[in-house]
């Protein structure tokens, strides 16, 4: 048997806010929020904003009246900036461990198996120091014998529940001590347990991570799901998730945006949907998933004069896939069916259904001839991801996504300090 | 209606028809047998609206009175089953009841009017072919296990009968694997096809014995009728287009490996113990002179089996749902089987040298 993997999860603290502060030090110490596309609602908060009781997802129009009085600074999201800084963080982290899995824009798993147990926490601190020194961003590090425990250790480090100096190493804890800690952590802090599931668990008396770990595995599987049974297994320190494998907690994946201006042409809609399908395919690949079905919706503004038109349709895919080309083509084909001229579209989206892990799956006999092509596409997408990771997001994309005319409203956006020569900060 | 007969004379036709009665039916009459007595004897009919079984039973010399009624199937069957062997039974239908008496036992069951019973009218014409029970049973046994179950592609939830090129092709597939067998029908020149519903196929397997008694099959536009001895089994056909099975049966795979069927089956069954419960993945690794069969579960428990084979090509790794292999090796009875392969992505072909008319195609799994 090979040696079991020790996982470290490195996560940037309040990533979007930290990115903004990097180029605007005046924001230090002030309550800062970052707003979603079209300045809709809060998607990131500084610790000061959290202390004021600003909620995640809170609509900006609720906050705006009192914002000035409370000293809250609101910024439009600048994904170009965050994406570029994310790439730099990930590139640096890749040099600090033998293996890396980028899980989202601000977090990644690292392989700590080769570090002797007593040095792991120190290495975590070195990582924190290096990222602070080279990029000026604060991160926390959680270390554990499973991905789920590493994720939980990270939350402990961030919230000060365990560990010290922004690093928490659960891999060296004995089972008894770990269980005692888990008994103090609310179950909705566990990776893969959503708010709704936490309520269902509370209804049967499981309110802490420890209680979930201790629950009878067969019962958890029958009463809830295999996914939750695997999560519970991971909490007990028994690995259930591999590299590039995340618990599938959602049944569908949606990428949708409201447009900056109303869209009336199918061509512009198609361009937007290509961009959404690309983003959705990137998410699938980052999570190691495939989708079996693609859906697409269009929407006019219900408050605009005239008929409110909001059609939706979906198509099963001949092979489950995660490649941008197939997803974009399918979404465009559906959109062409749904599109009615004469409407002013406000929003559109791509929805992926029937997500399965891209590990072990059963291809179909009657679409077998598509499989070699499918495997080629997997390689193309891996190459594309590698380029975009190295040279920045959207370095290589599908040409069809470049027809403009649908981009978002971003009135409070900071300049693209790191990716646009014209936005270089002047000293 | 009045019937007097030994228990076993009544039990035989009722048991033959019982399989088709739905346990949870929406209408009470679908839970009934239709009993009809005429000068020729007793006729028992059961239906689920998709299929219908009619069994005729001569009643011999005993006196009685002609008539008909619909009576709760399970209750009547259970009563007759629990009466002692050789008991004499009397069934007397009155207004809304059936009185069952035997010795000192008396039962009164509610009945429904016979004219309310929904009969399927068997087609008056269609293509006719005749096989022995033994042959039909073999054709079904070699294929039926590969039928889909509650698939959205409703035309896969059944068994495909295809009369083509003076052969009867019987095919089943769930999209992941496909079983095909053909039987020569030299006197049959027309083209004809029908998809039998899954439930019909399972019922057919129950009704067929290993005997040389003939089964007449009538294939009409919307129905198929199987007639053998006293039993007439009518079933609706699934409307839809069955996929072109010939397209997916590979003909030119470069690698052919010879296995002892039972040896391979036993090894697979042992590895299957530790194959993960949902997709049941296992891996076959072919090396010179050897195949290694391995599987593991989510708890990371592992099973490895090795079988010596004649293989000289480059090493080849291929994954399968172990159930798909076990199914076919269990359905076959031959001593030797062949597995033909191309690569880890192409469908594998399983055949037996004893029967060139049998093909089983199974799609590998991505591991």
**Under DSSP, is residue B288 helix (H, G, I), strand (E, B) or coil?**
coil
Token output for B155: 């035309």
Q: Looking at beta carbons, which residues of chain A come within 8 Å of B304?
A: none
Question: From the list B276, B299, B363, which residue is nearest A368 (CB)?
Answer: B363
Question: From the list A230, A363, A366, which residue is nearest B366 (CB)?
Answer: A363
CB contact under 8 A, B175 and A226: no
Number of other CB atoms surrounding residue A387 within 10 Å = 12
As a whole number of Å, the end-to-end CA separation of chain A is: 57
Q: How far apart are CA A237 and CA A233, in angstroms?
A: 7
3-state secondary structure chain B: CEEEEEHHHHHHHHHHHHCCCCCCCCCHHHHEEEEEEECCEEEEEEECCCEEEEEEECCCCCCCECEEEEEEHHHHHHHHHHCCCCCEEEEEECCCEEEEEECCEEEEEECECHHHCCCCCCCCCCEEEEEEHHHHHHHHHCCHHHCCCCCCCHHHCEEEEEEECCEEEEEEECCCEEEEEEEECCCCCCCEEEEEEHHHHHHHHHHCCCCCCEEEEEECCCEEEEEECCEEEEEECECCCCCCHHHHCCCCCCEEEEEEHHHHHHHHHHHHCCCCCCCCEEEEEEECCEEEEEEECCCCCEEEEEEECCCCCCCEEEEEEHHHHHHHHHHCCCCEEEEEECCCCCCEEEEECCEEEEEEEECCEEC
Among chain B residues, the shortest Cα distance to A233 is held by B299
Least confident of A71-80, A148-157, B2-11, B302-311: A71-80
Q: How far apart are CA A87 and CA A106, in angstroms?
A: 9
Question: From the list B243, B298, B365, which residue is nearest A366 (CB)?
Answer: B243
pLDDT given for residue A1 in this prediction: 40
pLDDT, tens only, B140-150: 999 999 999 98
Q: Residue A152 in contact with residue A170, Cβ under 8 Å?
A: yes
Q: What is the DSSP secondary structure assignment for residue B30, as one 8-state letter?
A: G
In whole angstroms, what separates CA B284 from the centre of its chain? 30
Among chain A residues, the shortest Cα distance to B246 is held by A366
Burial B118-135 (b: 16+ CB within 10 A, else e): eebebeeebeebebbbeb
Cα of B298 to nearest chain A Cα, Å? 6
pLDDT, tens only, A60-113: 888 888 888 888 999 988 888 888 888 889 889 988 888 888 888 889 999 999
Q: Looking at beta carbons, which residues of chain A come within 8 Å of B299?
A: 238
CB contact under 8 A, A360 and B281: yes
CB contact under 8 A, A375 and B243: no
Q: Looking at beta carbons, which residues of chain A come within 8 Å of B248?
A: 365-366, 368
Q: Residue B338 in contact with residue B350, Cβ under 8 Å?
A: yes
Q: Looking at beta carbons, which residues of chain B come within 8 Å of A365?
A: 173, 175-178, 248, 347, 361, 363
CB contact under 8 A, B178 and A363: no
For residue A382, count CB atoms less than 10 angstroms from its CB and return exposed for 0-12, middle for 13-18, buried for 19 or more.
exposed
Question: From the list B176, B347, B367, which residue is nearest A360 (CB)?
Answer: B367
Cα of A211 to nearest chain B Cα, Å? 21
Q: What rounded mean pLDDT belongs to chain B?
A: 93
Cα of A187 to nearest chain B Cα, Å? 23
Does B261 have pLDDT greater than 60? yes
Question: From the list B248, B319, B345, which residue is nearest A371 (CB)?
Answer: B345
Token output for B18: 């019982």
pLDDT given for residue B142 in this prediction: 97
Q: Looking at beta carbons, which residues of chain B come within 8 Å of A238?
A: 299
Cα of A230 to nearest chain B Cα, Å? 9
Q: How far apart are CA A41 and CA A57, in angstroms?
A: 5
Query: Kind and range of the H or E element at A88?
Result: helix A79-94
pLDDT, tens only, B26-58: 788 999 999 999 988 999 999 998 999 999 999
Cα of A31 to nearest chain B Cα, Å? 46
pLDDT given for residue A84 in this prediction: 85
Question: From the list A361, A365, A371, which residue is nearest B173 (CB)?
Answer: A365
pLDDT, tens only, B197-235: 999 999 999 999 999 999 999 999 899 999 998 999 999
The B-side interface with A (CB below 8 A) comprises: 173, 175-178, 243, 248, 276, 278-279, 281, 298-300, 319, 321, 345-347, 361, 363-367
CB contact under 8 A, B364 and A363: yes
Q: Looking at beta carbons, which residues of chain A come within 8 Å of B319?
A: 360
Q: Residue B132 in contact with residue B208, Cβ under 8 Å?
A: no
How distant, in Å, are the alpha carbons of A117, A298, A300 from that of A310? 56, 5, 6
Query: Kind and range of the H or E element at B357?
Result: strand B355-362
Half-sphere exposure of B143 (CA within 13 A, CB side): 30
Question: From the list B298, B300, B345, which residue is nearest A230 (CB)?
Answer: B298
pLDDT, tens only, B54-98: 999 998 776 788 999 999 999 999 999 999 988 999 999 998 999
Q: Looking at beta carbons, which residues of chain B come within 8 Å of A239?
A: 300
Q: How far apart are CA A195 and CA A192, in angstroms?
A: 10
ipTM score of the complex?
Answer: 0.83
Cβ-based contacts under 8 A for chains A and B: 53
Q: How far apart are CA A255 and CA A275, in angstroms?
A: 9
Token output for A166: 């922004």
Q: Residue B334 in contact with residue B341, Cβ under 8 Å?
A: no
For residue B196, count CB atoms less than 10 angstroms from its CB and return exposed for 0-12, middle for 13-18, buried for 19 or more.
buried
Evaluate if pTM is beyond 0.90: no
Q: How far apart are CA B232 and CA B56, in angstroms?
A: 9
For residue B107, count CB atoms less than 10 angstroms from its CB and return exposed for 0-12, middle for 13-18, buried for 19 or more.
middle
Cα of A373 to nearest chain B Cα, Å? 11
pLDDT given for residue B144 in this prediction: 97
Q: Looking at beta carbons, which residues of chain B come within 8 Å of A370?
A: none
**Under DSSP, is residue A327 helix (H, G, I), strand (E, B) or coil?**
helix
Q: Scanning the structure block, which residue is given the tokens 């799994």?
A: B365
Residues of chain A with pLDDT under 50: 1
Number of other CB atoms surrounding residue B191 within 10 Å = 10
pLDDT given for residue B340 in this prediction: 96
CB contact under 8 A, A365 and B346: no
CB contact under 8 A, B345 and A362: no
pLDDT given for residue A410 in this prediction: 64
- Mutate which: B178, B275, B302, B363, vs A, most A CBs within 10 A: B363
Q: Residue B340 in contact with residue B255, Cβ under 8 Å?
A: yes
């Amino acid at each position: 048997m090979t040696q079991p993997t020790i996982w470290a999860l490195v996560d940037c603290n309040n990533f979007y806010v930290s990115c903004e502060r990097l180029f605007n030090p005046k924001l230090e110490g002030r309550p800062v929020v970052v707003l979603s596309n079209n300045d809709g609602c809060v998607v990131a908060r500084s610790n000061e904003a959290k202390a004021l009781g600003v909620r995640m997802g809170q609509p900006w129009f609720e906050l705006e009246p009192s914002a000035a009085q409370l000293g809250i600074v609101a910024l439009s999201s600048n994904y170009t900036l965050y994406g570029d800084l994310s790439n730099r963080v990930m590139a640096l982290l890749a040099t600090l461990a033998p293996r890396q899995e980028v899980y989202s824009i601000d977090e990644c798993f690292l392989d700590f198996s080769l570090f002797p147990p007593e040095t792991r926490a120190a290495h975590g601190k070195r990582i924190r120091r290096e990222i602070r020194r080279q990029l000026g961003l604060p991160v926390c590090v959680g270390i554990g014998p499973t991905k789920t425990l590493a994720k939980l250790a990270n939350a402990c480090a961030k919230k000060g529940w365990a560990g010290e100096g922004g690093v928490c190493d659960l891999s060296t804890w004995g089972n008894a001590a770990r269980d005692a800690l888990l008994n103090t952590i609310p179950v909705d802090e566990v990776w893969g347990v959503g708010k709704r599931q936490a309520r269902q668990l509370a209804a049967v008396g499981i309110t802490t991570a420890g209680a979930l770990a201790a629950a009878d595995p067969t019962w958890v599987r029958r009463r809830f799901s295999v996914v939750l049974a695997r999560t519970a297994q991971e909490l007990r320190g028994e690995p259930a998730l591999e590299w590039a494998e995340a618990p599938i907690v959602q049944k569908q994946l949606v990428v949708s945006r409201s447009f900056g201006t109303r869209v009336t042409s199918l061509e512009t809609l198609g361009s937007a949907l290509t961009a959404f399908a690309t983003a959705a395919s990137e998410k699938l690949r980052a999570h190691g998933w495939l989708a079996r079905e693609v859906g697409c919706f269009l929407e006019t503004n219900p408050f605009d004069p005239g008929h409110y038109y909001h059609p939706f349709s979906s198509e099963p895919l001949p092979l489950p896939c995660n490649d941008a080309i197939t997803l974009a083509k399918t979404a465009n084909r559906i959109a062409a069916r749904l599109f009615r001229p004469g409407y002013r579209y406000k929003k559109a989206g791509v929805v992926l259904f029937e997500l399965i892990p891209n590990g072990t799956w059963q291809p179909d006999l009657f679409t077998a001839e598509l499989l070699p092509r499918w495997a080629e596409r997997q390689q193309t997408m891996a190459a594309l991801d590698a380029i975009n990771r190295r040279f920045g997001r959207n370095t290589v994309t599908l040409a069809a996504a470049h027809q403009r005319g649908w981009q978002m409203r971003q009135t409070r956006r900071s300049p693209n300090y790191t990716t646009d020569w014209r936005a270089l900060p002047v000293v | 209606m009045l019937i007097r007969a030994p228990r076993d004379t009544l039990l035989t036709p009722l048991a033959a028809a019982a399989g088709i009665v739905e346990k949870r039916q929406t209408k009470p009459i679908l839970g009934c047998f239709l009993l009809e007595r005429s000068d020729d004897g007793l006729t028992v009919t059961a239906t689920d609206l998709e299929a219908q079984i009619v069994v005729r039973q001569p009643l011999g010399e005993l006196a009685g009175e002609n008539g008909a009624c619909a009576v709760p199937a399970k209750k009547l069957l259970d009563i007759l089953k629990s009466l002692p062997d050789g008991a004499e039974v009397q069934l007397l239908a009155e207004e809304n009841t059936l009185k069952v008496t035997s010795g000192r036992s008396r039962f009164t069951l509610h009945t429904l009017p016979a004219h309310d019973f929904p009969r399927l009218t068997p087609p008056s014409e269609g293509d006719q072919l005749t096989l022995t029970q033994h042959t039909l049973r073999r054709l079904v046994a070699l294929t039926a296990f590969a039928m889909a179950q509650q698939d959205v592609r409703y035309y896969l939830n059944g068994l495909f009968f295809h009369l083509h090129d003076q052969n009867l092709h019987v095919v089943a597939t769930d999209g992941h694997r496909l079983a095909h067998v053909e039987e020569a029908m030299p006197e049959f020149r027309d083209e004809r096809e029908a998809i039998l519903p899954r439930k019909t196929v399972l019922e057919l397997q129950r009704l067929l014995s290993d005997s040389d008694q003939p089964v007449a099959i009538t294939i009409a536009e919307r129905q198929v009728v199987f007639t053998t001895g006293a039993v007439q089994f009518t079933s609706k056909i699934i409307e839809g287009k069955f996929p072109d099975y010939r397209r997916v049966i590979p003909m030119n795979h470069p690698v052919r490996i010879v296995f002892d069927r039972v040896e391979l089956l036993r090894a697979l069954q042992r590895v299957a113990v530790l194959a993960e419960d949902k997709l049941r993945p296992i891996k076959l690794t072919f090396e010179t002179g050897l195949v290694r069969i391995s599987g593991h579960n989510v708890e990371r428990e592992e099973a490895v089996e090795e079988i010596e084979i004649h293989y000289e090509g480059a090493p080849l790794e291929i994954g399968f749902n172990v159930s798909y292999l076990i199914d076919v090796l269990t359905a076959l009875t031959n001593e030797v089987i062949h597995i033909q392969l191309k690569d880890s992505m192409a469908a594998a072909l399983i055949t037996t040298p004893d029967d060139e008319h049998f093909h089983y195609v199974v799609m590998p799994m991505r591991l």
